[in-house]
Amino acid sequence: MTEKKKERIDIHEYLAQFDDIPGTRVFTAKRARKGYWLNQFAMSLMKEDNRERFKADESAYLDEWNLTPAAKQAVLDRDYNAMIDEGGNVYFLSKLFSTDGKSFQFAAGSMTGMSQEDYAKMMIDGGRSPEGVRSIKGGY
């Protein structure tokens, strides 16, 4: 009997496939490492006194965290896609949009370029169609 050899997977090649999904940012270990301090900042907003300090002077509060300039600017701009590109985890970032009095639906709509109302309607109607561009590189 011969034993079937296991095919070795190149992990870098495998993970690169995640970057080929249009409109999707997969939260990988690489993103988690990149966004550690951004996510720690977001989680700090679970405490009322931190939310109040943040709302009083956002820039000064952000200076207390070891954020990249791009991550800090993304927070100030409330650009959730840029925050995710900087390693933010949407579940941690929910503390930020909750601090702003915004819903998850609002944030998701803003990340897709839709109004909250249009996003809600799309989801109620069954979500996005699986038809269309499925690969950035392949165009299919």
pLDDT in tens, 34-90: 999 999 999 999 999 999 999 999 999 999 999 999 999 999 999 999 999 999 999
pTM to 2 decimal places? 0.79
Residues 79-86: contacts with CB within 8 Å, 24+ apart? 80/107, 80/110, 80/111, 81/25, 81/111, 83/35, 83/38, 84/25, 84/27, 84/31, 84/111, 85/25, 86/34, 86/35, 86/38
In the chain the domains, ranked by start, together with CATH numbers, are: 25-100 (1.10.700.10), 103-139 (no CATH)
